[in-house]
Amino acid sequence: MKINAIIIFTLLLSVIHAGADNGSKLWLRNAGGGSATVNFGGKMSPTISIVVDELRTQWKGGPIGLDLSTKKEIKALGADGFRISGGPEAITIASSSDKGLLYGAFHLLRLQACGAAGSTMDISESPAYQLRILNHWDNLNRSVERGYAGLSLWEWEKLPAELSPRYREYARANASIGINGSVLNNVNASPTILTKEYLPKVKAIADVFRPWGIKVYLSANFSSPKVVGGLDTSDPLDKNVRKWWKDKAAEIYALIPDFGGFLVKANSEGQPGPHDFGRTHADGANMLADALAPHGGIVMWRAFVYNPSSEDRARQACEEFMPLDGKFRPNVIIQVKNGPVDFQPREPFTPLFGGMQQTAVMPELQITQEYLGFSNHLVFLAPLFEEFLKTDTYARGPGSTVAATTDGSLFGQKISAIAGVANTGSDANWCGHHFAQSNWYAFGRLAWNHRLTSDRIADEWIRQTFGSDELLLKNMSDLMMRSREAAVDYMMPLCLHHIFSTNHHYGPEPWFSNPNMRRDWQPPYYHKADSGGVGFDRTASGSNAVAQYFSPLRETYANPATCPENLLLWFHHLPWDYKMKSGRTLWDELCYRYAHGVEETREFQKIWDRLEHRVDAERFAHVSGKLRIQARDAIWWRDACLLYFQTLSGMPIPLELERPLYDLPRLMKQPRTSEAYILEGNYYIK
């Protein structure tokens, strides 16, 4: 009987953990099981109905009262803020708006799911940023630029007549973490989105999102008046062009009264813009701002601009935008990528943060892993986001963090916003990799509260997504918190940057050079490796990009002895035998960093294997397969980079480190493959 009991128990465990789970529920897995009484004495609205339903079906405690309060202390929290108070006998969620009650309800349910709903609560929260927005780089044919999770969520061909249930699920997931805006289309925008054919489709999506507190925005192509409006120019100072935009704004708001506004990429990577007519970014942005202002809309004007030149690409955004500080309309906000180049695994912050003090500036972060292994690599991005937001710009002395320069607390901007380039798609698990969901979650949580720590966010996400088993929590959190630094080490340690394949940004190609292509689209432009050393000199003896930073950062970055080593090769071209703080030469340090990155990916596989009987079979197998790809990719990166740089340094790989698996000529002959081919894992060594 004892043996039989053991067999039965083992079989039960296998049944419990062998169940299918495709990840479609994201972190919202505590639905059902509640039977709470929800009391609300005011007028019901679609949003309040959602709040009542979420609490009634999920809250497992006592009665909950909803209070649309006009009290001074509640109104001081803002329209999105809320207060949760009370104990086991009764809880009250108070806010000055329906949306605030929605966010309060989801926060209470998050506390319950994380085991943190205490016996007595008195919690007041309001968001750090007014606008917390996802940017979708989705095209009208449903392809997604830098999308690694299937097709676009937006089924344009079926709209407006047919609404996918995923629109509601997407809105619910965003509302649960406080995201309140969505730019539906690619910043490389098609003018077609503004036509009479497509605007009713946009309206249909906006109608689904509205009860969840989410506004819809559109990326606008600057040439739309000419391309779809029939005008002979798109000059922002032309009166007919200005009228066209005003009429278009009125048309949109007649359909979508709460339309958020436009996101614009102009005069960047071939996109049209005001420079085509000898005008400034302010001229272009202000024209659109004037069209939107009567309706309460905003313009998010991207500062991702660079043109072929002999200048350091990292300097160009500041050079174009700093002279325009204070010349933009109040409803214009400049959207700035976190780093001066392009969403690299590690970059210093863009000096526009803190530099522009009379114009609202919003950070743009990349949730989709364009430069971090697509949806094949497990890389938890909260540490990257946190590192960026908490970095001190010294714009007004110590404590002038990037977050403070953008959330309105330091410069008093009337608009505060933050954007994340979304990683969602039509895949069942939304993001292509189950752990990539954590980056969507992390962006939302930090957009709401940039003081949160990465380890807390990881703990929240794990508990809601996989459960609260202590061994699972410990191991999964350990894996997540080490993953970003591991990726930096096996890709581009010491702030090497942009040495990816020029064609697809997935694998390494530090050797690629083509005299017929722009220099700033080629890796040697960034690593500057030669027999004398490696790294980009951005000190006074080089491009002098350090001069764009405030003191004492300017001096700290300019001196290799004081520059943080994790930014060293961004600011300095140093000899291969330069002595590092570890006592190693720069060459040996690179070798050890690459080796560490590879070893970490192997350790991640071991950590995950320990959780086999604590995670459902479907998700366990999926992540296991991805980790195998990541470990192979890490070797590919290590071998390609070290073997190539070794041809320039002439120095040996330390004997105590593992030898390269591949040889350089063979790696260099591999085809510069398409993304589809890469994603199958067949990108190297045929």
- Average pLDDT score over residue span 97-121: 95
Residue 225 predicted with pLDDT over 90: yes
Residue 311: active-site member: no
Q: What is the C-alpha end-to-end distance of the chain, expressed in Å?
A: 55
State the pLDDT at residue 35.
Answer: 84
- Locus of tokens 């392809």: 143
- Cβ 570 vs Cβ 348: under 8 Å: yes
**Which residues, 6+ apart, have CB-to-CB distance to 222 below 8 Å?**
234, 264, 266, 271, 272, 273, 274, 284
Q: Which residue has better confidence, 216 or 5?
A: 216
Q: Is 180 helix (H, G, I), strand (E, B) or coil?
A: coil
Nearest C-alpha neighbor of 360 from the set 378, 333, 379: 333
Residue 392: active-site member: no
Nearest C-alpha neighbor of 457 from the set 129, 178, 73, 227: 178
- Average pLDDT score over residue span 40-60: 96
Helix (H) or strand (E) holding 317: helix 316-321
Kindly give the pairing relationship between strand 181-183 and strand 121-125: unpaired
Nearest C-alpha neighbor of 619 from the set 424, 384, 438: 438
Token pair, residue 119, equals 């016996």
Residue 507 predicted with pLDDT over 80: yes
CATH architecture label of 131-451: Alpha-Beta Barrel (3.20)
Tens of pLDDT along 158-192? 999 999 999 999 999 999 999 999 999 999 999 99
Ranges of each domain in the chain: 31-125, 131-451, 488-536+573-679
Token pair, residue 197, equals 């054919």
CATH topology for 488-536+573-679?
Alpha-d-glucuronidase, C-terminal Domain (3.90.1330)
Distances (CA, A) of 662 to 377, 491, 622, 655: 21, 16, 27, 17
d(CA 66, CA 53) in angstroms, rounded, equals: 12
- Cβ 274 vs Cβ 281: under 8 Å: yes
Q: Is 645 helix (H, G, I), strand (E, B) or coil?
A: helix
Average pLDDT, the chain: 94
d(CA 213, CA 351) in angstroms, rounded, equals: 33
Q: Count other C-beta atoms under 10 Å from residue 664's C-beta.
A: 16
Considering the candidates 235, 283, 342, 392, report the single residue annotated as catalytic.
342
**Which residues, 6+ apart, have CB-to-CB distance to 351 below 8 Å?**
318, 340, 393, 548, 549
Residue 530 predicted with pLDDT over 50: yes
Read off the pLDDT band of 553 (50, 70, 90): very high
State the pLDDT at residue 600.
Answer: 98
- Average pLDDT score over residue span 382-399: 98
Residues shown for the chain: 686
Considering the candidates 247, 269, 530, 609, report the single residue annotated as catalytic.
269
Please name every residue paired with 95 in a beta bridge, in sequence order, or none if there are none.
68
CATH topology for 31-125?
Chitobiase; domain 2 (3.30.379)
Q: Is 71 helix (H, G, I), strand (E, B) or coil?
A: coil
Residue 512 predicted with pLDDT over 70: yes
Q: Would 31-125 and 131-451 be classified into the same CATH topology?
A: no
- Average pLDDT score over residue span 638-642: 98
State the pLDDT at residue 27.
Answer: 98
Residue 6 predicted with pLDDT over 70: no
Distances (CA, A) of 658 to 371, 483, 632, 644, 648: 26, 21, 14, 16, 20
Tens of pLDDT along 110-145? 999 999 998 899 999 999 999 999 999 999 999 999
- Average pLDDT score over residue span 448-458: 98
User: Phi and psi of 279, rounded to 5°?
Assistant: -105, 170
Considering the candidates 320, 370, 427, 639, report the single residue annotated as catalytic.
370
Tens of pLDDT along 391-441? 999 999 999 999 999 999 999 999 999 999 999 999 999 999 999 999 999
Distances (CA, A) of 521 to 36, 445, 472, 626: 58, 34, 43, 29
CB crowding 53-83: b at 16 or more within 10 Å, else e: ebbebbbebeebbbbbbeeeebeebbebbbb
Tens of pLDDT along 254-285? 999 999 999 999 999 999 999 999 999 999 99
Read off the pLDDT band of 308 (50, 70, 90): confident
Read off the pLDDT band of 502 (50, 70, 90): confident
Q: Which residue has better confidence, 307 or 70?
A: 70
State the pLDDT at residue 681.
Answer: 42
State the pLDDT at residue 31.
Answer: 64
Q: Is the dihedral of CA 323, 329, 333, 335 positive or negative?
A: negative
d(CA 479, CA 608) in angstroms, rounded, equals: 8
State the pLDDT at residue 671.
Answer: 60
Residue 15 predicted with pLDDT over 60: no
- Cβ 135 vs Cβ 263: under 8 Å: yes
- Average pLDDT score over residue span 229-235: 98
Distances (CA, A) of 135 to 43, 74, 249, 572: 34, 31, 20, 34
Residue 386: active-site member: no
DSSP string, 195-232: STTTHHHHHHHHHHHGGGT-EEEEE--TTHHHHTT--S
Q: Is 68 helix (H, G, I), strand (E, B) or coil?
A: strand
The reported pTM is 0.95
| Percentage above 70 pLDDT, the chain | 95
d(CA 78, CA 407) in angstroms, rounded, equals: 14
Q: Count other C-beta atoms under 10 Å from residue 89's C-beta.
A: 9
